[in-house]
Amino acid sequence: MTLVLNEIHLLDGLNSTVLVAAADRRISSDGGYFGTHPKLFRIPYLHGAISYFGLAVFRDSAANTCRFWDWLPAFIKRQTGVRDLRTFAYNLRDALHQLIPADTLRKAPSGFHICGYNEQFFPDYWFLTNIREMKGYAPSRIESSYKAPGSHFLCRDAAKLGWDGQDPSSARSKVMMIYRNVDFRARAVVWKQLKHMWQFPDFMRPQRSADYRDYVRFKFEFIAHLYRRWGRKEVIAKPIDVMVWSVDSRQRKIEQP
């Protein structure tokens, strides 16, 4: 099991944004511990990252053992010439279909969070998965192939935050969009309760990109402690990987603390 997360914070519409990517390192098999390995990897040329959930280790089409924590960094390196998230996501889908036997995908949910910035220095989030339907917090229907990847922020959810599709100032300020996957039950409960502390004047909201990074890490580690201390199975566990980018689209400036 795992917990992967992306947050997009609009500080001043799309003029000033913070992008956060996070994942734990717990790898499970049949509900039990399999290993501790990274699930989150930086995509430096897209000012973003990719994380995976579900399928992690499998026999590829040549019957060799493949581990995503080894394969994804190599794939990222091979895609160095790519200049946009869309091309990266579609290239990933094509590569996965060549790599993973259909019989394997038919039995195992698999998904990828892909985030970064476009040529206008706007943040975006793309999603790639073989999951077709969810029931509660669990997949109820999976397929032997990945759906076409989609932009869930700029091409879908940004409009809910007021963006007109062109003017970065049309989007609302001091709002956020969250994308998470797999066992996010504890996250859904804990996040909602923790955010209430900002109503008290003696608590300071995150101000800098490092603050957003540290706050997400704190929430992940708190959830990991819940599973370690009281969970019947420790399906989310430390260490936690968190990456953050702070961008001013007007100055075309990107900071990575």
The larger pLDDT score, comparing residue 28 to residue 109, is at 109
DSSP 194-257: HGGGGGSTTSPPP-SHHHHHHHHHHHHHHHHHHHHHH-SS--S-S-EEEEEEEEETTTTEEE--
Contact 173, 10 (CB under 8 A): yes
Q: What is the pLDDT of residues 10-21, one digit of tens each?
A: 999 999 999 999
Fold of 3-255: Glutamine Phosphoribosylpyrophosphate, subunit 1, domain 1 (3.60.20)
Supply the pLDDT for residue 182. Answer: 75
Instruction: Give, in order, the Cα–Cα distances in Å from 51 to each of 48, 129, 230.
Output: 10, 12, 27
Residue 28's Cα: distance from chain center in Å?
18
d(CA 191, CA 215): 11
The larger pLDDT score, comparing residue 234 to residue 17, is at 17
- Residues whose CB is less than 8 angstroms from the CB of residue 34 and which lie 6 or more positions away in sequence, other chains included: 27, 28, 56, 57
pLDDT of 33 > 80? The answer is no
Which range scores top for mean pLDDT: 8-12, 221-225, 230-234? 8-12
d(CA 133, CA 37): 28
128 φ, ψ (degrees, to nearest 5) = -135, 125
Supply the pLDDT for residue 186. Answer: 65
Q: Which of 189-193, 225-229, 248-252 has the lowest mean pLDDT?
A: 189-193
Supply the pLDDT for residue 1. Answer: 60
d(CA 149, CA 3): 20
The average confidence (pLDDT) of the chain is 92
Q: What is the pLDDT of residues 92-106, one digit of tens each?
A: 999 999 999 999 999
Q: What is the pLDDT of residues 174-199, one digit of tens each?
A: 999 999 987 656 666 676 777 778 78
Contacts 24+ apart (CB under 8 A), 234-238: 234/26, 234/33, 235/1, 235/2, 235/26, 235/28, 235/31, 235/183, 236/1, 236/2, 236/3, 236/24, 236/26, 236/183, 236/186, 237/24, 237/25, 237/26, 237/36, 238/24, 238/25
**Interval 209-231 mean pLDDT:** 91
Supply the pLDDT for residue 139. Answer: 82
Q: What is the pLDDT of residues 118-148, one digit of tens each?
A: 999 999 999 999 999 987 767 889 999 999 9
| Helix ranges, the chain (H) | 68-78, 85-99, 102-107, 185-194, 209-230
